[in-house]
Amino acid sequence: MEIVYPAFILILAIFLGFELISKVPATLHTPLMSGSNAISGITLIGALTAAGAGGETLATILGAMAVGFATINVVGGYLVTDRMLGMFHKKEKGAANNE
Amino acid sequence: MNNALIANFAYIVSAVLFIYGLKELGSPATARRGNIISSIGMMLAVIVTLIAQGIVDYKWIAVGVVVGALIGVLAARMVAMTAMPEMVALFNGFGGLASLLVGWAALYAAGITTFTIVTVVLSVLIGGVTFTGSTIAWAKLNERITGKPILFPGQSILNALIMAAIIACAVLFAMEPANVNYLYAIIGLSFVFGIMFVIPIGGGDMPVVISLLNSYSGLAACAAGFAINNLLLIVAGALVGASGIILTSIMCKAMNRSLSNVLFSGFGSTKQIESGETGEVKPITADDAYYILEAASNVLIVPGYGMAVAQAQHVTKELQELLEKNGCEVTYGVHPVAGRMPGHMNVLLAEADVSYDVLMEMDEVNPRMESYDVAIVIGANDVVNPSAREDEGSAIYGMPVINVDFAKTVFVLKRSMAAGFAGLQNPLFFRPNTRMLFGDAKESIGALVREFGD
């Protein structure tokens, strides 16, 4: 049962992911990619536990390195996505020349 | 015990925020909010982990977070929009490496079962392949190494041997978990496998590879989630994995090729099929092009990777404004695989402040191609090649393309007569309604803009 339970959640999450992502228009595929990439940095919380649990030295070092790389992934990923999405504008007719 | 329960409830909230954030990414109007919602989910997960998961030593965490955040902020601020594919590839690679390390560290936790060993091996393997594969993709996009496919005799046999060795090491490691040397071997082999996996893939196929690596980075997080028994990692990793797989399949469809064909064939390396159609190319000067554009009332712009290389997106927007002032309607037709990653062109044009409601997909512009007076092709080649429709012998036959040759007049902005990434000659250049505007795309469009100014 211990294995079945997370596997069950995994399958449901995959189907949910398919449903969500197939609705994203092609215009937004690059931000989608970098945004979902930032989400994959969720491994950071595993890294935090490994680095701070006060276990073996090797595990702590591995965890600390993982924290560093995952943080780059999370912080960089969200910021760059935000920067990109900030550029997507819909222009109101008439207001075009005032800027 | 209570703390763990609180943490898990908070993780559920995080998962909901991720899901809702991804849902909001479905429309340009709400996408930015969606990204912020998703980042709040991440923040919540991190904070809860820090206070409620029995962490006793914050020293190393602080070092990792500060260094990582600093690099992340700098990279996100400084990267040019044209370099976005490289950036995403690199971030992907770091995510993969982090999952590898988390999986590895999980080995030193208490209560290791065979199931844990299997998941550790999986997260190390996928994470390792993602890391070196993304690094090679980054180097290729950056042109630090050649963008051409790297092929050598016996390549597929070598790959099969590496795969077999990985499986053998994994089995041995599961039988004898105390011997960490097996794990080191798996790490090394997965690194080599990641390199081998990306080097035979050509520059034009990068959108597929980046999507696939994106998916792998999610799957690596997912596997790490199994290794440390954390459901949030499993859910978030699965969402990202699914997202990457969908993008991969959209990219493959847009090239009319199967995934295995993209991954293993080294497309464009050997094929040099001459299309039967050759003939006279009709160059045009900016001067003459201007007169045609001035009279046009409906113009389609088809951008390609060449626009990114020439950094021509801003001057293209200027041309668009001048045409619109002249009473002309301007639309952009964006092919799904134009550029180096999915949606690459859209981001560049958004950077130049082109409104997203004039950015059309291929299927929207093709049915009304006859109504366009002029189609301007900027640095695109294979995605507008009519051979894909007409020439059964062509390597890209069957690939959906933007049928610019049906427009009344076609301007092709091109540096020279060199073939596209697929190494194919493009019969579009010889069509009676095609005019070639040779030179750097930025300068050519700049010349047109000046003509309008006079």
Quick check: A13 and B239 in contact, CB under 8 A? yes
pLDDT score recorded for residue B33: 96
**Residue in A71, A78, A97, A23 with CA at minimum distance from that of residue B46:** A71
Check if B373 is active-site. Answer: no
- Angle ∠(B8,B13,B16) on CA atoms, nearest 5: 125
Position B66, amino acid: V
Rounded Cα distance, B260 and B248, in Å: 12
A5: CB partners within 8 A, 6+ apart: none
For an interface test with A, give the residue of B16, B30, B37, B39 to mutate (most A CBs within 10 A).
B39
Residue of A nearest to B360 (CA): A27
Which pTM does this prediction carry?
Answer: 0.89
pLDDT tens for each residue of A1-35: 478 889 999 999 999 999 999 989 989 999 999 99
For an interface test with A, give the residue of B13, B40, B44, B65 to mutate (most A CBs within 10 A).
B65
Which DSSP letter does residue B408 get? S
Q: Which residue out of B357, B373, B382, B405 is catalytically annotated?
A: B382
Q: Does A3 touch chain B (CB under 8 A)?
A: yes
Strand, coil or helix: what is B299?
strand
Q: Does A8 touch chain B (CB under 8 A)?
A: no
Q: Does A93 touch chain B (CB under 8 A)?
A: no
Cβ contact, residue pair B108, A67, below 8 Å: no
pLDDT score recorded for residue B396: 80
Cβ contact, residue pair B222, A10, below 8 Å: yes
**Radius of gyration of chain A, Cα coordinates, nearest whole angstrom:** 20
Q: Which of B38, B211, B357 sits opposite A39 (nearest CB)?
A: B38
Segment A77-99 shows an average pLDDT of 74
Q: Does A46 touch chain B (CB under 8 A)?
A: yes
Rounded Cα distance, B207 and B436, in Å: 28
Rounded Cα distance, B32 and B38, in Å: 10
pLDDT score recorded for residue B237: 96
Rounded Cα distance, B230 and A47, in Å: 12
Q: What percent of chain A has pLDDT over 70?
A: 91
Encode chain B (454 residues) as per-residue pLDDT tens digits: 588 888 999 999 999 999 999 999 999 999 999 999 999 999 999 999 999 877 888 888 999 999 999 999 999 999 988 889 999 999 999 999 999 999 999 988 877 888 889 999 999 999 999 999 999 999 998 888 887 888 888 888 899 999 999 999 999 999 988 888 999 999 999 999 999 999 988 877 888 899 999 999 999 999 999 999 899 999 999 999 999 999 999 989 888 888 887 777 655 444 444 445 567 788 898 888 999 999 999 999 999 988 988 889 999 999 999 999 999 999 999 998 888 888 899 999 999 999 988 999 999 999 999 999 999 999 888 889 898 888 887 778 888 999 999 999 999 998 877 666 556 678 888 888 999 998 888 999 999 999 887 7
Q: Which residues of A touch B92 (CB under 8 A)?
A: 37, 40, 73
Q: Which of B55, B68, B247 sits opposite A52 (nearest CB)?
A: B55
Q: Give the number of beta-carbon pairs within 8 Å between A and B.
A: 380
pLDDT score recorded for residue A15: 94
